[in-house]
Amino acid sequence: MNGPLAGLRILEVGHILAGPYATMLLSDLGAEVTKVEPPGGDLSRQVSDAYFASLNRGKRSVRVDLAAPKGQERLHALVRDAHALLVNLKPSAVHRFGLTYDALRPYNERLVCVALTGWGMAAGDDPAFDYVVQAATGIAALTGDPDGPPLLPGYSSADNSAGLAAALGLLAQVVSGRGGQIEVCLRDVMLSQLNYHAAAWLNDGVAPRRLGGAHAYYVPAQLFPTAAGHLALFITHDAFWRAFAQEAGIDGYPTMAERAARRAEVVAAVTKALAADTAQGWEARLRPLRVPAAAVRTLPEALAAAPETVVETGGRRLVASPFRIPGHEPSYGPPPRLGEHGDLT
C-alpha cells in the first residue's frame, strides 16, 4: 500500500455500510484494513457483489467466530499488531464480543477503539437503521414540499455521514499517540449536521420549516422548473443576484434581506423568468457569469460527465476516492473473498 496512511493497520468488525465505508476511505488513503468477518460474512455480501465491492475494495478478510474461545484468541492476536479497531455493531454485541478498549487494553495499550452505533453505547439496542435515524433526528421532517408528506433522501445520508465522522475520530486519536475509546453514533452526527437549524431553534426559538428543498436563509436557493428540466440556483451574495437578475431580466430585490422578506415574490419572478429557456440552456448562460447554478442530472448523467471519478478494480467499476492529494495515486485493490486472508471458524 502507498499513500499518507501507509503503515496504519486497522481492524474492522461490522456490517453493511457506515463502518465499512469509514474503513474503505482509510484504505483508499493507504491504510491496511482487515475485515474481521463472522462465519457467514458481512451481511452486505448478501445484497450484491457490486454493493459489497462499493464499500470494501482494497481490504483483507479474515473469518473469525468471535463467540468462540478460539475466535477470541485470534482477535487478540490481531489486536496486538493493530493501530485501531472500528466496530459497527449494536452496543450489546460490542460488549459481548469484547470489542471495547477496556477489554482489549491488556493486548495493546495503544489501540484506538471506535464504536460506531445508532444511538450511543449507553442507549441500548434499539434498531438504528439509516432511514430510522433520519426520521428521528428531523431530516425527514425538513424534506419535501411544504404541503406534502415528509420525505427521505434517496441515499443513505446518515450511514455515510457517520462513517466519515468515525474515520475522523479514529485518526484524531491515532494522531494523539494514545490508545482509547471513541464513540460515534448516527443520531449525534445527524443532529450535528443540522447545525444552523438547531442553533436557530435553541437560541431564537425559530423552528425549521419544510420549504420544498429551499434554503432557510438564502433566496432564491432551490430547484426551479424550466422549459425543459429543473435548475438548481443557489444565490447567496448580492453580486450573484445582480448577475443573475440582469441575465434573466428581473428587476428589484437588490439585497439579501429584501429577497428573504419577499420570498414568495422572488420565487414567482424567478420561476417566470426561467420558463424562457431549458435547464441546460440556463446552466450554459449562467456559468460564465459565475452564478451558482446547475441543471438537475441523473446519477448516470453525472457519472458520464465526470469519467475521472470512476475507477476499475476486481472487474468492477466503482466511484473513486474523494481525496485528491498531490503525489498520491490511490491503489484500488479488489474486495476480498470471505476469509481470503485467514479462516478460523
* Terminal-residue alpha carbon distance, the chain: 28
Joined together, the cell numbers standing for residue 218 give 438564502
Largest Cα separation within the chain, whole Å, is 75
* Grid cell for residue 339: 476469509
β-strands 230-234, 60-64 pairing: unpaired
Q: What is the amino acid identity at position 262?
A: R
C-alpha cell recorded at residue 87? 466496530
Sheet order of strands, 221-225 included:
221-225, 230-234, 293-295
Phi-psi region of 151 (alpha: psi -120 to 50; beta: other; left: phi over 0): beta
Cell 450535528 sits at which residue?
192
| 192-203 as b/e: b if 16+ CB within 10 A | eebeebeebeee
For 110, the grid coordinates are 495503544
Phi and psi dihedrals of 88, rounded to 5?
Answer: -125, 75
Catalytic residue among 28, 42, 130, 159: 159
DSSP letters spanning 106-137: TT-TT-EEEEEESS-TTS------HHHHHHHT
Give dist(CA 38, CA 344) in Å, integer.
Answer: 10
In the chain, count H helices and then E strands: 15, 12
What DSSP state is assigned to residue 189? H
343 counts as catalytic:
no
CB 90 within 8 A of CB 76: no
Long-range contacts from 93-97, C-beta under 8 angstroms, 24+ separation = 94/121, 96/67, 97/13, 97/66, 97/67
Which of 190, 181, 15, 33 lies closest to 101 in space, CA to CA?
A: 181
Point out the residues that are catalytic. Answer: 159
